[in-house]
A and B are shown apart, each in its own frame.
Chain A
Amino acid sequence: MNERVILLVEDNADDEALTLRALKKNNITNTIVVARNGVEALDYLFGTGQYAGRDTSVQPELILLDLKLPKVDGFEVLKKLRADERTKLLAVVILTSSTEQQDIVNGYGLGANSYVRKPVDFQHFMDAVRQLGLYWLVLNERPFAGLRNGR
């Protein structure tokens, strides 16, 4: 396992299983941390609640964020993490069922890096995950990457 973390924020157990499957099938070997609602996601990012004491200088390489979540929804998570120095530069891909214009506009407005609709056809979903992995984990240059590698 690769210690660079992907944070998957997803409340639907089926979607979680399918996303994990798609990541595995595409040979994406990063550690996957799953948060099942917005509160869990924020706890992980800021080292609070069940993640109290976590080293928050280590942050996920990529956040796959669902929008409709119990307790605190995806937009709220996005807003909070963009407002915090520790997390404001993280790569966030909204991965959701909705293609409502309002959601897409809100998502980008709050600083999402990408917006992807989960396709129903699993082959298409596999394809989307493969491309996301390739782009965000390989091609794309992130800030701090050199810093972390040197550590």
Chain B
Amino acid sequence: MGEGKLGKRNLTDRLLWAGLAAAIVAAVAIGWNADKDAHESYAWNNWVSHTQSVLDALDDAQENSLAALSSIQNYYQSGDLKNLDSVSNSISKLEHQSVVLRSLTGDNASQQNRLDRIDRIERRMTVLSENIIRSAPAFSQPQSLRAPEAAGLSTAVYQLFVQLYQMSAVERRLLTERTARARATSRQSTTALEIGGSIVFLWLLIVGGYAFLTTRRLTDIAKALAVSEVARVTERKRVADDLRALSDSERRYATQLEVVNKELEAFSYSVSHDLRAPLRSIDGFSSALMEDYADKLDEQANSHLRRIRAAAQRMAQLIDDLLKLAFVTRSEMRTEAVDLSAMANVILAECQTAEPLRQVECVVQDRIMGQGDPHLLRLVLENLLGNAWKFTGKTQQAKIEFATADQDGQAVYFVRDNGAGFDMTYAEKLFGAFQRLHAAADFPGVGVGLATVQRIVRRHGGRVSAQAAEGQGATFSFTLEVNHGGQQ
């Protein structure tokens, strides 16, 4: 009997002890798990504040580049060289900021690449502004003489701003991602504690007979739960703050970009007006000289004057093309379905009208549709088909083709010709502004067509590439990715 009683008590004891042990094991496991999650959440939070400080640094740099831009504008307007000191000042601040950014983004190769570019632009800006200071003769030279210098500098600042903007776009994406991760892990750790806590609590109720032993555990768990609740509230507040800061900076960047665009617009206005005026004088007075002094000028003199006039007119064309190129980058985009086949047919018909004697076999695939801005896409096709038309000018049985093909689920559009082609060694130069692979005497043009094409295709989130061999024609292909999350 006594033995039986004893055996029963032993059994209960054992059960209770086992229950307690299980509760302790569970508590330890949950605690460990929650601790791990908390650590992870802490790490993500660190990443969030790290990204925030990168964004702050980028913010400062963008403000400095804006300051540089307005100093350049002031210099352009007034001719006061003091403004160039402010430019140098902004540049040295920017240089310092890129050092900071370089160490902050050491973990990110693409950001480091952008910083390399930024460094190059900053060096170019220093050289440009030093050149102006060195060559500026006196306080007041005519505004039009300052235009090209100021244009060079402003373009550099704009490129810099674009790099900074791209950097901050990357960081903002990282911030969103990291904030989400931090939030998720913090939620995980809280949930683990809550669920785990409830289970342990139940266990502890079951082993309530040994309350005196478990009191401390219970208090600990209660404490842990309380702590986790506080942590969760803090975390929530922090995430909310981060998100608010994020949308604030987003708005600020948008405003800054708008300011820069406005400035550039005003600037291209001045350039178009001021740079053309002296050219009109050069052309007009050369022409006056040829007319009024015809009897005194020999053939040699007339030939010189003709060259001067041709050069002035060519420069006017360059200015117009540059402004067009700028327009391509800053005009507003609207996206719609565009019938590229119809567009291609119209353009080729226009080419034929301009040169009715040429016989070119034009093959345009039916109903090729593309998503994008109709005005800009027309420029793409005009340039590519126009080039094909131009470079088949010396080809017997010229043929131009416009078609589309599916490549890994993506539509690739291509323009193919059997014209002059080019050496692929120079292919990378092809898309730079004012780069030409043929002598102007062979094929006329100023070399902004493909630069225009590349800018437009990039704005549509696509890629453009070329395949060719000298004397065996060229194929230009491009993609459009507006609808697949590409950059706009």
| Contact of A98 with B285 in the complex, beta carbons under 8 Å | no
State whether A122 and B287 are in contact (beta carbons under 8 Å apart), knowing that A98-B269, A98-B272, A99-B272 are contacts in the complex.
Answer: yes
CB interface residues, A 93-121, toward B, < 8 Å: 96-100, 102-103, 118-121
Among B277, B283, B285, point to the contact of A12 (Cβ < 8 A).
Answer: B277
Shortest CB-to-CB span from A51 to chain B, Å, is: 27
The interface-forming segment of A13-21, A29-37, A84-92, A141-149 is: A13-21
Report yes or no: A68 in contact with B287, Cβ–Cβ below 8 A: no
Q: Which of A18, A68, A103, A123 contacts B280 (CB 8 A)?
A: A18
Q: What bracket does the count of chain B residues touching chain A fall in? A: 20 to 34
Q: How far is the CA of A63 from the CA of B285 in the complex (A)?
A: 24
Inter-chain contact A18/B269, CB cutoff 8 Å:
no
> Does the CB pair A118–B280 fall under 8 Å?
yes
The answer to whether B276 touches A120 (Cβ under 8 A) is yes
**Nearest-neighbor residue (CB-CB) of A68 within chain B:** B273
Q: Does A136 contact B (CB under 8 A)?
A: no
Taking the nearest CB of chain B, how far is it from the CB of A69, in angstroms?
11
Interface residues of B in 351-404 (CB under 8 A from A): none
Residue in A closest to B320 when the chains form the complex, CB atoms: A99
User: Which residues of chain A are within 8 angstroms of B280 by Cβ–Cβ distance?
Assistant: 14-15, 18, 97, 118-120, 122, 125
The reply on B279 being an interface residue by CB < 8 A is: yes
Task: Tell me which of A14, A97, A99 contacts B284 (CB under 8 A).
Answer: A14
For chain B, what secondary structure do more than half of its interface residues adopt (helix, strand, loop), or is it mixed? helix
> A97 CA to B277 CA in the complex, in Å?
7
Chain A interface extent, by class? 20 to 34
Query: Is B347 interfacial (CB-CB < 8 Å)?
Result: no
Determine whether the beta carbon of A121 is less than 8 Å from that of B313: yes
Which residues does chain A contribute within 8 Å of B276, judged by CB atoms?
97, 118, 120
Most A CB atoms within 10 A — which of B272, B284, B286, B312? B284
Contact between A120 and B273 (Cβ–Cβ < 8 Å)? no
Q: Does B207 sit at the interface, judged by CB under 8 A?
A: no
Note all chain B residues with C-beta closer than 8 A to A120: 276, 279-280, 283, 312-313, 316
Report B75-113 CB contacts with A as 1/0, cut-off 8 Å.
000000000000000000000000000000000000000
A130 to B277, CA, bound (A): 20
Supposing A12-B277, A15-B280 touch, asked if A21 and B272 sit within 8 A by C-beta, the answer is: no
Q: Contact check, B277 vs A15: say whether CB atoms are below 8 A apart.
A: yes
Question: Interface of B with A (CB < 8 Å)?
Answer: 269, 272-274, 276-281, 283-288, 309, 312-313, 316
**A binding-site residues for B, Cβ under 8 Å:** 12, 14-15, 17-18, 21, 68, 96-100, 102-103, 118-123, 125
